[in-house]
Structure 1
Amino acid sequence: MNSRSAGTLAVGRVKFFGQHRGEVNSSAFSPDGQRLLTASEDGYVYGWETQSGRLLWRLGGHAGPIKFCRFSPDGHLFATTSGDCTIRLWDVAEAKCLHVLKGHQRSVETVSFSPDSKQLASGGWDKRVVLWEVQATGSWDSAIFIWDLRTGTPVISHQELEGHSGNISCLCYSASGLLASGSWDKTIHIWKPSTRNLLVQLKGHVTWVKSIAFSPDGSQLASAGYSHMVKVWDCNTGKCIETLKGVLDVAHACAFTPDGKLLVSGAADQARRQLRCTIKSPRASQI
Structure 2
Amino acid sequence: MNSRAPLSVGRVTFFGRHRGEVNCSAFSPDGQTLLTASEDGYLYGWETKSGQLLWRLGGHTGPVKFCCFSPDGYLFASSSSDRTIRLWELSRAECLWVLKGHQRSVETLSFSPDSRQLASGGWDKQVMLWEVQSGHKLRHLEGHHDSIQSSDFSPNANCLATGSWDSTVRIWDLRVGTPAVFHQELEGHSGNISCLCYSSSGLLIKVWDYNTGKCLETLKGFLDVAHTCAFTRQGKLLVSGAAI
TM class by smaller structure: over 0.9
Q: Which amino acid aligns with 1:179?
A: L
Counterpart of 2:235 in structure 1 is 260
Identical pairs, percent: 65
Which string of whole-angstrom CA distances, capped at 9 and with x for unpartnered residues, describes residues 78-106 of structure 1?
00001100000001011110000000000
SS class of match (1:209): coil
Residue 159 of structure 1 and its aligned partner are, at CA, apart by: 3.2
Relative contact order: is structure 1 or structure 2 higher (C-alpha 8 Å, sep ≥ 6)? 1
Specify the alignment match of 1:171 in structure 2. 151
CA distance in 2, matches of 1:246, 1:261: 19
* CA deviation after TM superposition for structure 1 residue 9, in Å: 3.6
Deviation at 1:12, TM superposition (A): 2.1
Q: Which position in structure 1 is the counterpart of 2:188? A: 204
| CA distance in structure 2 between the aligned counterparts of 1:6 and 1:252, rounded to whole angstroms | 22
TM (normalized to structure 1)? 0.80
Return the alpha-carbon distance in structure 2 between the equivalents of residues 125 and 99 of structure 1: 21
> Which AA in structure 2 matches 1:233?
W
Pick closer, same or farther for the CA change 1:11–1:184 going to 2, 3 Å. Answer: same
The code of the aligned residue for 2:26 comes to A
**Matched residues, number:** 240
Cα 1:7–1:187 shift into 2, 3 Å: farther
- In structure 1, runs of 5+ residues without a counterpart are 135-148, 223-230, 270-287
Partner AA of 2:170 in structure 1: H
**Aligned mates of 2:172, 2:35 — CA distance in 1:** 28
For residue 71 of structure 1, report the CA deviation from its aligned partner. 0.5
Who is 2:61 aligned against? 63
1:81-140 deviation per Cα after TM superposition (whole angstroms, max 9, x unaligned):
011000000010111100000000001111000000000001111111110022xxxxxx
* Within-5 A mapping of 1:70-219: 70-134=68-132, 149-150=133-134, 152-154=135-137, 159-177=139-157, 178-195=159-176, 196-218=180-202
Alpha-carbon shift at residue 248 of structure 1 (Å): 4.3
Report the TM-score when normalising by structure 2: 0.93
User: Gapped runs of 5+ residues in structure 2?
Assistant: none
Distance 1:247 1:47 in 2: 31
Q: What residue identity is the alignment partner of 2:30?
A: D
- The answer (yes or no) to whether the contact 1:4–1:244 under 8 Å persists in 2 is no
Give the match's secondary structure for 1:88: strand
State the Cα RMSD in Å. Answer: 1.6
CA shift, 1:166, in A, is 1.1
Is the contact between residue 167 and residue 190 of structure 2 (CA under 8 Å) also seen in structure 1? Answer: yes
